[in-house]
Amino acid sequence: MKREPVKSNEINNEILEEVLTSLKKDFGFNEPPSQNWLKTGNLVFDWFTGGGIPLGKTIEVYAKEGTGKTTLSLWLIKVFQQQEGIGVYLEPEAVTEDERMKEVGVDTERLLHKWPDTVEEVFRIVQKTIDLVKSQIPTIVVLDSLASTSTEEEIVKDFGERTMGSQARALSLGFRKIARKIGGSKVCFLILNQTRTDLNIQFGDNVTTSGGAPPKFYSSIRIELKKVEILKHGDKPYGITVAGFTKKNKCAPPFRRIKFDLLFKSGLDESSFYFHFLKDRKLVDRRGIYYKLPSGASFTRQNFCEKLRDSEFRNEVESIIQEELGEE
């Protein structure tokens, strides 16, 4: 009687089972961690990043000067505080006043505002925060900004002495030390960075950032901000419109785009996420300065925020956005 040959996939399954069993026995096995998110309550921003603000991850936000990096970070701190989270604001530049933070909605009584001297001190604070918080309380640690943070080597040496690459080396060591710890915590490390012009690139995208390669590699999400419009009442500016792009995202599909308004007095206008989404995707009819929802409710750019306070209007807007996002 002729024996039937054993199928190759059956052999592969047996080998696979044997290998996995042996590896688990000798080295143990770690369950892949599930991604924790802190929802901002804004459908558009949560879609933009993939689910809100990722906990246990590093985010880099970079842009030119005057593009709203600080204001965006303060809004994110406010979101954490509104959900009983903790905010840590590390600012080597030492220029943001408490009064400004209060204007944009940050509770300064529940904020740790520290002026670190070096990159090494920043990572010691981040590491200590992770050890204290662990997986208990959602926490955001903001570094504003990386470009202005010196290193211990630069502090010790005199002006003119070579310290090339010292910041990149310190960052690489710091990220390696916190990488495993931050992944199992509820801490989000938000790095604000400035753009520079790479003189070695003559054609194509010559925009680079401070700190070398480590922030690019260790950041789970990298967001680029660009100023697209100055908002004015007559000749008097009162804010700017900013476009955000996810250049890298390991938590969701990258290359998503949003727009929002930053007002000089009150900070980030949360309703502007919805307004620009509806407008740019042509989900509303436009007649001059007026926009109309499918139900017939009309609004302008100036009164959209006020209209959103009406629950019926807000429900219709959010249902339109959810339907649009559900198709992606």
The DSSP string of 191-229 is: EEEEEEE-TT--SS--EEETT-SHHHHH-SEEEEEEEEE
Contact, 291 vs 283, CB < 8 A? Answer: no
Q: Are 82 and 192 in a shared domain? A: yes
Residue 67 included in any domain: yes
Mean pLDDT of all residues in 184-193? 96
Beta strands in the chain (DSSP E): 37-38, 53-54, 58-63, 86-90, 111-114, 139-144, 187-197, 207-209, 221-233, 236-249, 257-263, 267-269, 285-287, 290-292, 298-299
Same domain, 300 and 195: no
Give the pTM. 0.91
Question: Domain containing 240: what range?
Answer: 37-269
Check residue 107 and give its pLDDT: 96
- Tally the domains of the chain: 2
User: Tell me, what's the pLDDT at 5?
Assistant: 54
- 10 contact partners, CB below 8 Å, separation of at least 6: none
Q: What is the C-alpha separation between 325 and 292, in angstroms, rounded?
A: 20
CB count in 10 Å sphere of residue 314: 14
Q: Examine the domain organization and report whether 242 and 282 are in the same domain.
A: no
201 vs 92, more confident: 92
> Using 50, 70 and 90 to split pLDDT, how confident is the model at 199?
confident
Distance CA 179, CA 127 (A): 10
What does the pLDDT average to over 117-134? 95
Does one domain contain both 75 and 205? Answer: yes
Are residue 260 and residue 283 in the same domain, yes or no? no
For residue 123, what are the contacts with CB-CB under 8 A and spacing of at least 6?
Answer: 170, 173, 174, 177, 178
Task: Name which of 16-25, 36-45, 52-61, 78-87 the model is least confident about.
Answer: 16-25
User: pLDDT (tens digit, 9 = 90+) per residue, 130-180?
Assistant: 999 988 899 999 999 999 999 999 999 888 888 888 999 999 999 999 998
Give the residue with greater pLDDT, 263 vs 163: 263
The amino acid that residue 230 corresponds to is I
pLDDT score, position 135: 82
In a shared domain, residues 262 and 291? no
- Cβ atoms of residues 142 and 77 within 8 Å: yes
Q: DSSP label at 56?
A: T
Contact at 8 Å (CB) between 35 and 51? Answer: yes
144 and 291 both lie in a single domain: no
Same domain (yes/no): 226, 321: no
Query: For residues 62 and 246, what is the distance between their CA atoms, to the nearest angstrom?
Result: 11
